[in-house]
């Protein structure tokens, strides 16, 4: 049973970023190989001469995939809220991946600004996907601010370190059983994404791990298979872990040969 994000079921629990690909053509092939539930996009200054944004938009539109605009690079509530408004007009969607960054070395969310921006935007009709930490209390404040989805980080953006705090992510899952949860940021290889899905997360958000691979198209497919395996594994009700060995081959009927 797949989760609904603000009432919408995605075709896949894989969310793909569109940045850092070696070329637009490789991005297009990667999206076609993985068939993600959505792709994230952003806004940047447009030069009247080049109009690079227009050709990017035409590529995304032709892929016929849902888009989730972000507020990446925003360090203040005002910047993030203004960017969200611009994104709503440009992309014609109320969905916004809200990032309010605290400092540049870790790109850790400024959770205080995040909660404030989430409240302002939710009251204005936005469907907010907040990029947050695994902190339970922050998560509660985000829910109270109007968020119906949470996107905790696995590790710092672009680090590829995977799930840095499995305990924290598991606690968040247990604390919000009905809330769609997405691991955003820090995933490096498909096993990290699979692990997130096995923990009960509803989706994973991947950019650098695919775009930065030697062969992004093959890696996109690998992530697509990994999240599918995770969904199946969870539906199949995994066995309990034990400290001691238990023979899997029956002992009864074993020949006496000693």
Partner 1 sequence: MKIMVNDEAHDVRATTLAALVEELGYGGARIATALNGGFIPLARRGETALHEGARIEIVAPMQGG
Residues of each annotated binding site for 1-deoxy-D-xylulose 5-phosphate: 158, 185-186, 207-208
Q: Binding to partner 1 by residue 57, rule CB under 8 A?
A: yes
For residue 79, the minimal CB distance to partner 1 (Å) is: 9
Q: Binding to partner 1 by residue 130, rule CB under 8 A?
A: no
For residue 19, the minimal CB distance to partner 1 (Å) is: 4
Closest to 224 measured CA to CA, from 9, 61, 15, 2: 15
CB 108 within 8 A of CB 101: yes
Cα 60 from Cα 69, distance rounded (Å): 12
Among 27, 30, 139, 219, indicate the residue that binds partner 1 (CB under 8 A). Answer: 27
Cα 148 from Cα 171, distance rounded (Å): 18
Q: Binding to partner 1 by residue 53, rule CB under 8 A?
A: yes
Hey, is 194 helix, strand or coil?
helix
Q: Binding to partner 1 by residue 6, rule CB under 8 A?
A: no
In angstroms and rounded to an integer, the radius of gyration of the C-alpha atoms of the chain is: 20
Specify the stretch interacting with partner 1 by CB under 8 A; choose among 4-12, 43-51, 169-177, 223-231: 43-51
Distances (CA, A) of 2 to 15, 143, 204, 234: 14, 20, 13, 11
Residue that the structure tokens 């705090």 belong to: 165
C-beta closer to partner 1: residue 17 or 230:
17
Q: Binding to partner 1 by residue 218, rule CB under 8 A?
A: no
C-beta closer to partner 1: residue 81 or 173:
81
CB 187 within 8 A of CB 209: yes
Q: Which of 97, 127, 141, 161 is catalytic?
A: 97
Hey, is 71 helix, strand or coil?
coil
Q: CB-hemisphere CA count at 13 Å for 3?
A: 22
Among 1, 23, 47, 257, indicate the residue that binds partner 1 (CB under 8 A). Answer: 47
Residue that the structure tokens 């227009």 belong to: 54
Q: Binding to partner 1 by residue 43, rule CB under 8 A?
A: yes
CB 99 within 8 A of CB 76: no
For residue 238, the minimal CB distance to partner 1 (Å) is: 31
Active site residue 127: no
Q: Binding to partner 1 by residue 132, rule CB under 8 A?
A: no
Positions marked catalytic:
97
Residues that bind partner 1 (CB under 8 A): 17-21, 27, 40-49, 51-54, 56-57, 60, 69-70, 72, 78, 82, 85-87, 89-91, 157, 205, 207-208
């Amino acid at each position: 049973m797949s989760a609904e994000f603000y009432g919408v079921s995605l075709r896949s629990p894989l969310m793909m970023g569109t940045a850092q690909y070696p070329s637009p053509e490789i991005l297009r092939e990667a999206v076609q190989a993985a068939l993600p539930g959505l792709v994230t996009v952003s806004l940047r200054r447009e030069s009247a001469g080049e109009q690079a944004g227009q050709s990017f938009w035409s590529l995304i539109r032709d892929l016929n995939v849902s888009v989730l605009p972000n507020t990446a690079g925003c360090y203040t509530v005002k910047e993030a809220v203004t960017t969200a408004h611009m994104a709503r007009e440009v992309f014609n969607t109320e969905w916004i991946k809200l990032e309010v960054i605290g400092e540049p070395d870790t790109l850790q969310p400024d959770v205080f600004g995040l909660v404030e921006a989430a409240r302002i935007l939710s009251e204005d009709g936005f469907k907010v996907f907040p990029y947050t930490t695994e902190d339970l209390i922050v998560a509660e404040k985000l829910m109270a601010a109007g968020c119906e989805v949470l996107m905790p980080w696995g590790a710092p953006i672009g680090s590829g370190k995977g799930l840095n705090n499995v305990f924290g992510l598991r606690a968040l899952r247990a604390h919000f059983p009905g809330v769609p949860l997405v691991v955003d940021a820090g995933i490096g290889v498909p096993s990290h994404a699979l692990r997130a899905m096995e923990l009960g997360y509803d989706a994973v958000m991947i950019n650098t791990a695919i775009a930065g691979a030697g062969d992004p198209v093959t890696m996109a497919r690998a992530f697509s298979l990994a999240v599918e395996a995770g969904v199946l594994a969870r539906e199949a009700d995994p066995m309990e872990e034990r400290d001691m060995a238990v023979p899997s081959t029956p002992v009864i009927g074993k020949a006496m040969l000693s």
